[in-house]
Structures are given as structure tokens and as C-alpha cells.
Structure 1
Amino acid sequence: MARSTGQNQNEKNKAGVFFLATLILWFVSVLFEIFFNKRTELLWIVAGACLFQIANWLIRSFVSRDPLFVNTSVSLLHSTTISVSVVFILVNQCLRNGFGGMLEHSQLVGGTWEWAYAALCFSCGYFAYDQLDMLHYRLYSGLIPSILVHHLILLICFTLALYRNVTINYLMLTLVCELHSIFLHVRKVRRMAGVRDAKSTIVKIEWFLNWLTFIFARSLSHLLITIKLIADASKFEKGVELPLALFGMTGMNFINAGLGIDLFHAYKRERDPQKSSNYHGE
């Protein structure tokens, strides 16, 4: 047991060093763009990171000092905020240009919907904050933690798109998945609060919404975005946009598949009272 614990600790240390180094490099690049290239619009990234860090401090000071509870609560705040923003932006554009006009290749690649750039920056700031918070409190496991890989992929794709001001609208569509993230975080907070009765109405409704949004807001939406990228591949100009977009969406689809498997196992455990009472690592 001690040997296994030591090995896990060593894996955490190695992962922590690598992902902290990538986060520092990312932060330096953002500061360079803001101060040397006069990209003041990127200050929304800093604003997002600062806002969620302030929320972290407030929850830690007045609600709970448990690092996992604090981290999950801030993640719930982000998912809710971004979901409302994305729905507002999409509905606004649909009313202006119609559903078909929204999904034109020129709009998705070269256009930027109103408030989309700021919303993407804001979300990017959250992922940077969350990466640092998980690294600081070691809220991850394994040599290649999927959550840290997920955040790194998003930071790379988001910031490169923001620097080049391309595929902003495509990335806004990917953020529809935050609707599902709301219920992932609600479930974690609910279990940490001690509400674990799988037969209760509120838990059944939560699981229904969890699966509904996982299928439509996360899995199906990301799959359709990938198909759209492939269908419009010939319309992309030569450059990194298409390879980067396909790389990002392929990574997201693999992560979604793993998340679906984990969610299914979690659902089975919660339906079995004995296994649920014996499992404390969720």
C-alpha cells in the first residue's frame, strides 16, 4: 500500500511539473500579446481568471474550505454563466441571420458574433484559473490526468483562435457542452452535501437532465461540429485552422467517450445503495 501511494504521489509530481510549465508558458504568451502587441481585447482573459479566483476566495472564506467543494462550486458558476451567455449569443444571431445563415462556413470561420470574442476570452480565463487551482490543491490523479489534458487542449485551441481572430464562432458552438457541465457539477456538489438517495425525485430529475444534456449538448453537438469541419474541409484556406480544429475536436470526442463511460459507471453505482455507500472517491 505504501509503495502504491508513493508511486501515485510520484506520478502526481511529474504531471504537476509538466502542466504547471505549460500553464506558465501560456500565461507569458498572453501577457506578451496584451502588452507588446497591444491586444487589449485579450484583457477579458485576465478578467475571467480574476473573477473566478475571487469567487474561489469568497466560497473558501464563507462557505467551505474543502478544496474539492470550492473548486466544484466555482466550476458550477462558470458553467452556468457561460451556458447563459452562449444561449443568448446563439439566439441573438439566429434571430438576426436565421439558423442557416449562422452556420455558413464564412460566418463560422471568419466572422465573430456579437459578444462571442469576450465570452470566449472569459471562458479561457476560467480554464487557466481552474488548471492552476487543481495543480495547487492536487485535484487530479495519474501520470496523464484527463482533466488537465482537457484544459490544456482548450487553452491551446482557444488562445490560438483568439490571437488569430479565426474560428471564434466555431468555438462558441463547442461551448454548448457547458449545459451538460452544469449537471456534472451539481451532482458533485449534491453528493458532497450528503444527498445520495437515488430513489429521491430530485436525484432522478438530476440524472435525467444529466443524460439528456450529455447526449445532446455535449456528445451530439461535438460530433456534428466535427462532421461540419470535415464537410467544409475544402473551404478552409491553407494554414493551421483546419488541422488545429480537427485536432481539438478529435480530442474532445475521445474525452466525451471516456466521460460517458465514467458517467455510466457512476450511474450504476448510485443505483446500488451498497456500492454507493462504499465508494468515496467520486
Structure 2
Amino acid sequence: MATDHRRAQKKNATGTFFFFMATLIMWAVSVFFEILFDNRTELLPLIFGFAFYQIFNWVCRNFISRDPLLVNTCVSLLHSSLTSASVVFILVKQLASNGVDELFEHSQLVNTTWPLAYSALCISCGYFAYDQLDMLLYGLYSGWIPSILLHHFILLGCFTLALYRNVTINYLILTLICELHSIFLHVRKVRRMAGIRDGKSKLVKTEWFLNIVTFLFARLLSHILITLKLVKDASKFEKGVELPLALFGMAGMNLLNVFLGLDLFNAFRRENRNNVHES
């Protein structure tokens, strides 16, 4: 614990910490202003999401482990599981009601909000704010421009502006299907922290299979298809920030997906190489 505290103190003295903490504070001020002064009570699930995951963090820290990385990973695993279930439920319900063609029609994705979609997006946005704060406070990042902090920065910007303007909510719900892959990212972290690293075991092989398949289809392919849909329907957007913001957000997500894919490939190769050497 002393090592973790010193690591957090050292990282908290860097420009990276001050930049991302400042943007998070500005975001929080903006949200409270919208709720308190503009009476945007529909944004309250955002506060609930932040509080819910912060409380679960406290429960993990006091009853499971004091390790900040393990606690953060357990909370992230809970978010990925709940968000995936919510997104799948919303999509299945819409498919049953409207069919595929209407589901992906431009006006449906941009100007309409599916039942529960707004609240689900608020709660997920609250989680990303919580996670950003937790990683900053405990130094759970590396580098001058950490990809994980940049990822949350992009998501908070895009999600919050969409919630304020109540547009493209359904598009953003579609992007959250990537949380299916995040489940196995977090499971892998927990598995390795538990000391289970035998690449020859059926458990690890199954986990890697699900990790790679969900990365390819739930994250990489889905985000590429969403980007192509935005480009195809560009002329249907009204003049404003919606299209540029959506394209910027998806460009950032696709770039981060490439880096994540490379990290996964290297991790998979490294684990298999280590098992070959051990045998």
C-alpha cells in the first residue's frame, strides 16, 4: 500500500494529472450547472451512475482488497457486465418492435431516443467520470498521454454533449456494444492478478478465444460499421456540431481500437512464449 501511495503521489505531480483532473472538474461543474440551474432532472441518472460505482469501489476496497488496481478492475468488470446487458436488452426490444431496417434508419439513430437509452447512457457516462477520477487519484495510468485517460476524455466529451442536446443517443448506445469485449479484458486482468497464467489451460484458452472474438466483432467491426454509417448519412445531418463531433469521436475510438488490438496481440504472443519457455 505504501508503494501504491508513493506511485500515486509521484504521478499526481505531473502535467498529465493536472490536465485531466482540470478537464474532469470542468465537466463536473458543467453537469451540476445543467441540473441545478437549467433544471435538467433527466441528467440525474448520471449522478446516480457516478455514486453507484463509487460506492461499489468502497465496498471492494473494504471487503475484498486494498489494491487500487484490483478494486478498479472489479468495478470496471461490473460496469461492462451491466452496460452490455442493458445495451443488448435495448437492442433486442427495439428489434422485436421495429425490425432491422427501422432500427438503423438515420432519423431513428439521430433524432429519436429508444426507451431506457437516455438513462443507460447517463449511467455509463457517470461511470466514465468515476473511473477517470479513480485512475487519477491512484496513479493507474502510464505515459504522458495515457490512452485510457484519453479514451475517457473523448467519451465524456461526446456523451455529455449528446445528453445535453438529446441527439445521437441511439448512435452512442450502439457504440457501447463494445463493453461485451471489455468484460473479457477485465476478466483477464483479474485472472492474472489471481496468479492464473497457464496458457495451456482450457480456462485461459477459452478466455482468450472470447477476448479475441468479442474484440473483432463487438469492438473493432462494430465501430468501423458505425463510422461508415455516419459517412454514408453525412448529407442527412442538419448543420451543426453533431456530425463533426460524431466523426471526431469515432475517429478517436477507431484509433484507440488499433492500439488496443496491437496490445492484445502482443499480450497473447507474450503469454504463449512464456508458456513455451516454462515447458
Quote the residue 2:38 is aligned against: 37
Classify 1:49/1:211 alpha carbon distance in 2 versus 1 (closer, same or farther; 3 Å): same
* CA–CA separation in structure 2 for the residues paired with 1:100 and 1:82: 24
Whether 2:172 is the aligned partner of 1:177: answer: no
8 Å contact kept, 2:17–2:136: yes
Aligned length: 272
* CA–CA separation in structure 2 for the residues paired with 1:49 and 1:201: 37
Quote the residue 1:239 is aligned against: 240
SS of the aligned residue for 2:140 comes to: coil
Shift of 1:273: 2.1
- Between the aligned residues of both structures, percent identity stands at 67
Q: Report the more deviating stretch, 160-169 or 11-20.
A: 11-20
Quote the residue 1:60 is aligned against: 61
Classify 1:173/1:276 alpha carbon distance in 2 versus 1 (closer, same or farther; 3 Å): farther
Quote the residue 1:280 is aligned against: none
Q: Which amino acid is 1:148 matched to?
A: L
RMSD, aligned α-carbons = 1.8
Shift of 1:11: 9.2
8 Å contact kept, 2:12–2:136: no
Quote the residue 1:218 is aligned against: 219
Q: Which amino acid is 1:196 matched to?
A: R
8 Å contact kept, 1:112–1:169: yes
* CA–CA separation in structure 2 for the residues paired with 1:15 and 1:140: 10
* CA–CA separation in structure 2 for the residues paired with 1:21 and 1:276: 46
Quote the residue 2:50 is aligned against: 49
Superposed CA deviations along residues 15-53 of structure 1, whole A, max 9, x for unmatched, are 000000000000000000001010001010000000000
8 Å contact kept, 1:269–1:275: no
Quote the residue 1:81 is aligned against: 82
Quote the residue 1:111 is aligned against: 112
TM-score after normalising by structure 1: 0.94
8 Å contact kept, 2:199–2:271: yes
Shift of 1:206: 0.3
1:1-282 equivalence runs, <5 A: 9=10, 13-273=14-274
Shift of 1:260: 0.1
* CA–CA separation in structure 2 for the residues paired with 1:275 and 1:15: 39
Q: Which amino acid is 1:27 matched to?
A: A
Shift of 1:274: 6.0
* CA–CA separation in structure 2 for the residues paired with 1:274 and 1:175: 34
8 Å contact kept, 2:198–2:275: no
* CA–CA separation in structure 2 for the residues paired with 1:112 and 1:54: 29
* CA–CA separation in structure 2 for the residues paired with 1:197 and 1:100: 45
8 Å contact kept, 2:12–2:18: no
8 Å contact kept, 2:35–2:41: yes
Superposed CA deviations along residues 127-160 of structure 1, whole A, max 9, x for unmatched, are 0000000000000011101100000000000000
Q: Which amino acid is 1:55 matched to?
A: F
Classify 1:11/1:74 alpha carbon distance in 2 versus 1 (closer, same or farther; 3 Å): closer
Classify 1:10/1:50 alpha carbon distance in 2 versus 1 (closer, same or farther; 3 Å): closer
* CA–CA separation in structure 2 for the residues paired with 1:43 and 1:270: 43
The answer for unaligned runs of 5 or more in structure 2 is 1-6
* CA–CA separation in structure 2 for the residues paired with 1:227 and 1:175: 17
Q: Which amino acid is 1:175 matched to?
A: L
Superposed CA deviations along residues 48-103 of structure 1, whole A, max 9, x for unmatched, are 00000000000111110000000000000000000000000000000000011010
8 Å contact kept, 2:11–2:139: no
Classify 1:35/1:187 alpha carbon distance in 2 versus 1 (closer, same or farther; 3 Å): same
SS of the aligned residue for 2:14 comes to: helix
8 Å contact kept, 1:270–1:276: no
8 Å contact kept, 2:230–2:243: yes
8 Å contact kept, 1:12–1:138: no
